[in-house]
Amino acid sequence: MNLDYTPEQRAFRAEVRTWMEANVPSGPLPSFDLTREGFEAHRDWERKLNEGRWGMVTWPEAYGGRGLDLIRWLIFEEEYYRAGAPVRVNQNGIFLLGPTMMEFGTDDQKARFLPRMAAGDDVWAQAWSEPGAGSDLAGVRATATRDGDEYVLNGQKIWSTRAVFADWAFGLFREPGSERHKGMSLVLFPLDAPGVTRRPIARMDGEMVFAEIFLDNVRVPVADRLGEEGQGWHVCMATAGFERGLMLRSPARYQVAASKLIALYEANKDSTPASVIERVAQGWMDADAYALTIYAMASRLAGGGTIGPEASTNKIFWSELDIELHRTALDILGDRAELMPAAPDRGDAGDWLDGHIFALAGPIYAGSNEIQRNIIAERMLGLPRG
Amino acid sequence: MDFAFTDDQAAITQAAREMLVETCTPTDLRRMLEAGEPSDQARWSTINEMGLLGILAPEAAGGLGLAAPDFVGIAEAAGYVALPEPLVDLAGVTIPLLASLDDDHGWTERAIGGAVVAIGHPANRFVADADTADALLLGDGEDLHIVSRNAVTLTRAESFDPLRRLFQVDWAPSDETRVGSGWGDAADRGALFAAAQMIGLAQRSIDMAVAYAKERTQFGKAIGGYQAVKHLIASAQVKVEFARPVVQAAAAELALGTLPSRARIAHAKIVAGEAADLAARTSVQVHGAMGMTWEVDLHFFLKRAMALNYAWGTPAAHRRTVIDRMTSLPTGPDKTFASELADA
Ligand SMILES: Cc1cc2nc3c(=O)[nH]c(=O)nc-3n(C[C@H](O)[C@H](O)[C@H](O)COP(=O)(O)OP(=O)(O)OC[C@H]3O[C@@H](n4cnc5c(N)ncnc54)[C@H](O)[C@@H]3O)c2cc1C
């Protein structure tokens, strides 16, 4: 074990830092969940990242990446969050679909989709959940009916993040008549294809963070299926592993939040009981613990290992950490916590409220924490199935 | 010793609760928001006709002359429905304060009759309901002033809770507006009845979680049948069970006005806030993604709970009162009730 960055890794960090300092927008971009303009502003940022070849540093150069290892990806993420760069509007593409495509895609699919994904030219949404199929994803009812070299897609998807303005979706469909884990396929479809209707869903604060997608005889080429026909469940579980495991929530995100919390505490010391420093310290320790665990995981993967059910432990840890960081911040803010951004007298309330609302969803998406606990108990610890 | 409500107390609480549950449904709240109506006139008239506004005012002032334990269940019910109108602040805090003034300029009587007097107590950063008020009770140093709505300038401070209307108030005191000095026990009353509302909010969140858990199925089974879900909800209910009696005792002890009684109120505010927070988050979790939406009614209760947790003194401020009492006065099994320390 050696916990020193190599000179090359340090040089890489310096390179990222220099680029970020020169390029990260000085103020926050308008929300990508409220207007097309805000969405496009984020797409422009993705394009700029791609011009610097920072779109997805772990991908092969042929697909717009730099072919770097996971340690460098972590360093990149650290610098990205440290610089306060915009949230990746294409996270469902680059962090979920991208790695899945690397594993299951044909060469043709990789060449068609990955460079455009890295560039933000195609922003992707995940279309798996349905009104009747949330935790029980094998309950999906939407169908892909084979018609020569086309699929005809029908059904209803829900909770599809960013789908209000996104360009493409990767959806989970089943062969008519098939049941549960059998007969499913992962099919890619353009969100502006004939027969696709999107209905935005407002979050509790009015932001249109997700959408329902209605599919009415939507025709797509069979070539846009990812993985084998009928193997959709298997493909999805790989994606879910990326979602819970390493990619979706990188540790730097929480380390930056913990640093902001420390600053908030310091700035409000006079009105905050001294004991709150203990919660702040806990948040900081937990953020570091998450970072250490992910570094260890990245090293294990680099040595040829795989991620198993411990992806579920990650997911529980970051989602609960996020809530605690935000609850502590709200407690420090006290009667300023409830104020919306335009309110007077907000002082340094920042975006803690918005972050808190977002954090509340953490234990629900990417597989609820109850389901993750079942997975840990049964698959990691070998307890009897309930 | 009889830690139970009297039949009269139970009856008036029951009547108020039924009225509130019937007239203030989430559908009503949504209609008000869509129409941009700050309050529901028909409901306010009913509240007024039931005599709820003057419930704690002396009979001589035209009130019912009742005490905090008679109102605590009504405040809980107001929380249960996330009532947008200022019944709790008015009946619980402002009217008793107005009635204690030497010369209230006639506002006690008017407020008992349904006029809204918004209260700008220093415990709160902003003044709630100032826009629909007929007058505002404001402080200038120790002096209290009643200022007409037309004589102030309001700036809206938008809250996460869209039904909570907060304002920054610009105004000027004068000899004519001065009505007395000292806020009396207004801060205690504000905290106590905010705590009662949070008990109602907590129970509402739990009731919604229970209803949803019975109806939503996944893996071919109602999700309420999974122990993971059951235990989440049960843990929230435990919090409520050990907060509600604290709130009720705080109501009974309010009149003592001693450090132990104020510490009881502080205790009540802290634990009711914790219960409401846990219940709201639990209910979101049980609802899954549905719980995050505007479409599902849960957010009305989650937002109100968050706002009230920090209103009328933050948990941190109340904890200081608890610690003060705990470290400066005797504790022990014979010192449970504030009246045992009445001389302190
Ligand atoms: C912010 C957000 C973004 C999302 N983005 C996307 C997206 O982009 N694409 C997409 O396809 N989906 C998305 N989702 C949907 C997400 O995948 C589902 O919310 C999740 O799978 C849970 O399903 P559900 O909401 O239907 O809840 P349900 O499955 O109905 O669960 C409700 C409650 O029951 C519990 N429960 C269910 N089954 C069990 C069990 N067997 N044992 C114990 N407890 C159980 C759950 O833990 C939860 O507490 C998103 C959700 C959120 C909140």
Averaged pLDDT for residues A336-356: 96
Atom of ligand 1 nearest to the CA of A133: 26
Q: Is A127 exposed, middle or buried (0-12, 13-18, 19+ CB in 10 A)?
A: buried
Are residues A279 and A354 both part of a single domain? yes
Task: Indicate whether residue B179 lines ligand 1 (CB < 6 A).
Answer: no
Cα(A222)–Cα(B111) distance, rounded to whole angstroms?
72
User: Does B43 share its domain with B159?
Assistant: yes
**What does the angle CA A243 – CA A244 – CA A247 come to, to the nearest 5 degrees?**
55
pLDDT of residue B343: 60
Q: Which of these, A359, A128, A221, lies nearest to B284 by C-alpha position?
A: A359
The pLDDT of residue A309 is above 90:
no
**B260-265 mean pLDDT:** 98
The tens digit of pLDDT for each residue in A59-108 reads 999 999 999 999 999 999 999 999 999 999 999 999 999 999 999 999 99
Q: pTM score > 0.95 for this model?
A: yes
Q: Has residue A235 been placed in a domain?
A: no
Beta-strand relationship, B143-148 and A184-190: unpaired
Whole-number average pLDDT of chain B: 97
| A141 lies in the same domain as A172 | yes
* Substitution target from A204, A269, A368, A376 for chain B, most B beta carbons within 10 A: A204
Q: Which of A112, A98, A82, A101 is nearest to A253 (CA)?
A: A82
Residue B335 lies in a domain: no
Q: How far apart are CA A52 and CA A47, in angstroms?
A: 9
Q: According to DSSP H, which parts of chain B are helical?
A: 7-23, 26-35, 41-49, 68-80, 87-89, 95-99, 107-112, 186-215, 227-241, 244-253, 259-287, 298-310, 315-328
Residue A247 confidence (pLDDT): 77
pLDDT digit string, tens, across residues B282-298: 999 999 999 999 999 99
Residue B17 in domain: yes
Q: What pLDDT was estimated at residue A216?
A: 98
Kindly state whether residue B212 falls inside one of the protein's structural domains: yes
Domain that holds residue B35: 7-181
Q: What is the pLDDT at residue A123? A: 98
Predicted local distance difference test score (pLDDT) of residue A82? 97
Tokens of A341: 């951004």
Residue B263 lies in a domain: yes
User: Is residue B121 domain-shared with residue B107, that is, in the same domain?
Assistant: yes
Cβ–Cβ under 8 Å, residues B261 and B253:
yes
The CA-based dihedral angle spanning residues B44, B50, B55, B60, taken in that order and rounded to the nearest 10 degrees: 110
Please indicate, yes or no, whether residues A218 and A253 belong to a single structural domain of this protein. no
Number of domains in chain A: 3
Residue A21 lies in a domain: yes
Average pLDDT value for residue range B234-258: 98
How is residue A28 annotated by DSSP? Answer: P
**Known catalytic residue at A243:** yes
User: Do B259 and B114 fall within a single domain?
Assistant: no
Taking the CA atoms of chain A, what radius of gyration do you get in angstroms? 21
Q: What is the pLDDT of residues B24-57, one digit of tens each?
A: 999 999 999 999 999 999 999 999 999 999 999 9
The confidence score (pLDDT) of residue B283 equals 98
Whether A140 and A50 share a structural domain: no
Query: Three-state DSSP class for A27?
Result: coil
Which CATH number fits the domain that encloses residue A280?
A: 1.20.140.10
Chain B residues within 8 A of A264 when measuring between CB atoms: none
Q: Does the residue A237 lie in any domain?
A: no
Please indicate, yes or no, if residue B280 is contained in any of the structural domains.
yes
CA of B288 to the centre of ligand 1 (A): 5
pLDDT digits (tens, 9 = 90+) for A191-212: 999 999 999 999 999 999 999 9
Residue A114 domain-assigned (yes or no): no
Same domain, B198 and B284: yes
Give the mean pLDDT of A142-147.
Answer: 98
Classified as helix, coil or strand, B266 is helix
Output the DSSP codes for A146-160.
EETTEEEEEEEEEEE
Residues in A touching B124 (Cβ below 8 Å): 335
Encode B33-57: b = buried (16+ Cβ within 10 Å), e = exposed: eeeeeebbeebbebbbeebbbbbbb
Q: CB B227: neighbour CB atoms within 10 A?
A: 10
DSSP B233: H
B157/A337 CB distance under 8 A: no
Using the predicted structure, report yes or no on whether residue A340 has a pLDDT greater than 80: yes
Whether A217 and A265 share a structural domain: no
Looking at the structure, tell me whether residues B91 and B196 fall in a common domain. Answer: no
| CA-CA-CA-CA torsion sign (B241, B124, B149, B33) | negative
- Same-domain check for residues B123 and B202: no
Active-site entry in A46, A130, A175, A243: A243
- B162 and B194 together in one domain: no
Query: What Rg value do the Cα atoms of chain B yield, rounded?
Result: 20
Does B93 fall in a domain?
A: yes
Token pair for A63? 């697909």
- A239: pLDDT strictly greater than 90: no
Let me know whether A364 and A270 are in one domain.
yes
- List the Cα angle B129/B86/B13 in 5-degree steps: 175
On whether residue B244 sits in a domain, the answer given is yes
**DSSP letters for B102-157:** S--TTHHHHHHTT--EEEE-TTSSSEETTTT-SEEEEEETTEEEEEEGGG-EEEEE
Q: Are residues A313 and A218 in the same domain?
A: no
| Mean of pLDDT values over A282-306 | 93
Residue A14: domain span: 7-89
What is the C-alpha to C-alpha distance for residues B131 and B167, in angstroms, rounded to an integer?
8
Task: Give me the number of domains chain B comprises.
Answer: 2
In-domain check, residue B338: no
